[in-house]
Amino acid sequence: MLDLSAHESTLSEAVAANAARTFYAHWPEAPSGKIYGETANADGETAFKAQLNAPFTRLLQQGDGTWVGEETSPYGFPLGITYPASSVDTLISRATAAEIAWRSLTPQERAVILIEALERASKHFFEIGYSTMHTTGQGFVMSFQASGPHAFDRALEAVAMGYSAQAGFVENVTWSKPMGKMSVTIEKSYRIVPKGIDLVIGCSTFPVWNSVPGMFAGLVTGNAVIVKPHPAAIYPIAIVVAHLQQTLADCGLDPHVVQLAVDTVAHPSTMDLVLHPSVRIIDYTGGPTFGSLVEKEGMAAGKVVYTEKAGVNCAILESVDDLDSALDNLAFSLSLYGGQMCTAPQNIFIPQTGVRVGNDIVSVDDVAAKLREKVDALAHSEKVGPSTIGAVQNERTLDRVRAAEALGLEAVRPSGPLAQPGFDAARSVSPLILRADRTQDTVFEQEWFGPISFVISTESFEDALALVDRSIRTHGALTTIVYTTDPAKQERAEDVIVRAGAPVAFNFNSYVWVNQSAAFSDFHGAGCNPAGNATFADWSFVTNRYNVVGVRKQA
């Protein structure tokens, strides 16, 4: 066993950060050579290029002899990487065997081993960044941050939360009950019993950030984990799994405690894993249609199912102190990664009387025009536009843009091709903003995943709030944002939106965007609306992964 005592302080810091909810980040988010080493970027890019058109041989798991892979960069070229494939029965049998020794460790031992694995993998943030960029279409800086330090902080958060829950009571106690002139004494112990194999189903847009919370929550609570990535985005999470396996092996443990389950679009294996009786926990992130199927089938079979699907995220613009700052913030939120974030705003509600700015009123038309200017300035910026908007991960997202254009609504801002320097074949478009009114709710009260948003006129602020309330309860939401300088309206909006089951942000106008979710402070996903039943990471995200069984012995 490795000497992992150095990680005990990291674990203590993470536990304290979870409780305090103030800013804490274990890994710096800037892809800076001064932080990660002067050659780190070049080394990461070299490693990425060396992996192209070659088998991924870093995994310690045994395959069935077949290799599969069909990843293609949204920037216009096939990756040509293959991964060792295994049958569902093979994955399950190896996980079952490996889990025995893993669950015998103490929660603290599991936690520090997982932190060691994260530290090792963090030395490869730049390769993870390039692999994320060329599987998801994110710009490089976002890829580095989202799949690197931000994702790893979420993983550490889950480890700390799981450890804290299991360490919340003593393991052994001598229990004495006075009974008049005598007493009875019982020796009691309490054993953590993990639920069983945890299946983590990844998505194509955030293959690391959305997967590691469930992975590490499952592992720290003593369960073996099978990671089922999206066929279009395997490479980034494969790097993480490889470092987990190597760390487990170096600690004298079976590396099959965590395995990668790869498949293809033509021959999917996800539902076979979901329905296997040995899988007792499921973590799902992705589209709502398939997510609802996973929930239905998994729960019907008595499994614990955590989902983070998607909803219709809304914004209300009623009054602001500084319209330019507010719209700068909103325009960036609409543009970031081409709207391919589950937290991106879609519907922007504005009272038909306009937006109050100080003592003035700015009409809906003028607000919409100014929002277009802000998005134009970003999209047309050669310095930041292409990297901020990135490329479109899936061709179906472009089909959705074309379908939105065909609705016949007024285009506040038309979408168009966006050049990505160095990648002439990139699949990239700029944001589409359409104009609607409240009577067209059948159009905007559905998710339009991608660079598509709507400016919607409402009768009043209360009317807008009622539409948001209905949308959250019917379709779910992962974020909402409200701009109002009226304290009474702010209080009213907070009450309505929180009661509907969604988080809410007010008056963002600086360098924090509603899309973002900070580990150790923000609870990502409320877990109480149709957009998903999970929260990264509250107590329920870890405590349902194990049970506590008591043992009593007469003293």
pLDDT at 355 over 80: yes
Return all residues near 405 (Cβ < 8 A) that are at least 6 apart.
411, 414, 415, 432
Torsion angle (degrees, nearest 10) of CA 332, 471, 469, 154? -50
**Using CA of residue 488, residue 489, residue 493, residue 499, what is the dihedral sign?**
positive
What DSSP element (H or E) covers 106?
none
Cis amide bond preceding 42, omega within 30: no
Q: What is the DSSP letter of 439?
A: G
Q: How far is 411 from 432, CA to CA, in rounded Å?
A: 8
Residue 266, classified by CB atoms within 10 Å of its CB into exposed (0-12), middle (13-18) or buried (19+), is exposed
Q: What does the mean pLDDT of the chain come to?
A: 96
pLDDT at 401 over 80: yes
**What is the model's pLDDT at position 492?**
98
Q: Which of 299, 360, 337 is nearest to 544 (CA)?
A: 299
Prediction pTM value: 0.95
- Are the CB atoms for 472 and 501 separated by under 8 Å? yes
**What is the model's pLDDT at position 2?**
65
Mean pLDDT across the stretch 18-38? Answer: 94
pLDDT in tens, 423-439: 999 999 999 999 999 99
What DSSP element (H or E) covers 163?
helix 149-166
**What is the model's pLDDT at position 181?**
87
The one-letter amino acid at 85: A
DSSP states along 393-432: S-HHHHHHHHHHHTT--EEEE---B---TT-TT---B--E
The one-letter amino acid at 79: L
Share of the chain above pLDDT 90, in %: 95
**What is the model's pLDDT at position 6?**
82
- Enumerate domains of the chain plus CATH numbers: 15-167+194-309 (3.40.605.10), 314-506 (3.40.309.10)
CA 264 to chain centre: 22
Joined together, the tokens standing for residue 419 give: 């050049």
- Planar angle of CA 175, 176, 179, nearest 5 degrees: 150
pLDDT in tens, 279-291: 999 999 999 999 9
Q: How far is 120 from 124, CA to CA, in rounded Å?
A: 8
pLDDT in tens, 219-267: 999 999 999 999 999 999 999 999 999 999 999 999 999 999 999 999 9
Q: How far is 491 from 102, CA to CA, in rounded Å?
A: 48
pLDDT at 4 over 80: no
Q: What is the CA radius of gyration of the chain?
A: 25
- Which residue has tokens 């360490």? 167
**What is the model's pLDDT at position 357?**
97
Query: Which of the four pLDDT bands, split at 50, 70 and 90, describes residue 1?
Result: low
pLDDT in tens, 101-111: 999 999 999 99
**Strand 172-179 vs strand 182-194: parallel, antiparallel, or unpaired?**
antiparallel
List, in sequence order, every residue forming a beta bridge with 68; answer none if it has no partner: 83
